[in-house]
Amino acid sequence: MEKRRKLDDLERGRDLSRILAFTDGVFAIAATLLVLQIDVPSGVDSASALWDGITEQGGDLWAYLFSFLVIGFFWIHHHRFMREVAEFDRGLMLINLVYLVFVVLIPFTSQVIGEYGEYPVAVTLYAINMSLVSLAFAWIQRHSLVRGLVADGYEWDAELSYKSSLFSSAYFLVAIPLSLLVGSWALLSWFGMRFDPFQKERDRVYENARRQAAPTPGSGDRG
Cα 117 vs. chain centroid, distance in angstroms? 22
* Mean pLDDT confidence for 98-123: 93
- Rounded to the nearest 5°, which phi and psi values hold at 105? -75, -20
Q: What is the pLDDT of residue 23?
A: 94
Q: In what helix (H) or strand (E) does residue 129 lie, and over which residues does it extend?
A: helix 120-146
Using the predicted structure, report yes or no on whether residue 216 has a pLDDT greater than 70: no
Q: What is the C-alpha separation between 69 and 79, in angstroms, rounded?
A: 15
Indicate the average pLDDT of the chain: 82
Q: What is the C-alpha separation between 144 and 159, in angstroms, rounded?
A: 10
For 175-202, write each residue's pLDDT tens digit.
988 888 887 788 888 887 777 777 777 7
For 146-179, write each residue's pLDDT tens digit.
999 898 888 888 888 899 999 999 989 989 888 8
Q: What is the pLDDT of residue 214?
A: 56
- Rounded to the nearest 5°, which phi and psi values hold at 89? -140, 180
Euclidean distance between the first and final Cα of the chain, in Å?
51
Cα 5 vs. chain centroid, distance in angstroms? 35
For 4-52, write each residue's pLDDT tens digit.
444 344 445 557 788 889 999 999 999 999 988 777 777 777 777 777 7
179 near 198, Cβ under 8 Å? no
56, exposed or middle or buried, with CB in 10 Å at 0-12, 13-18, 19+?
exposed
Using the predicted structure, report yes or no on whether residue 126 has a pLDDT greater than 60: yes
Extents of the domains making up the chain: 2-39+54-212
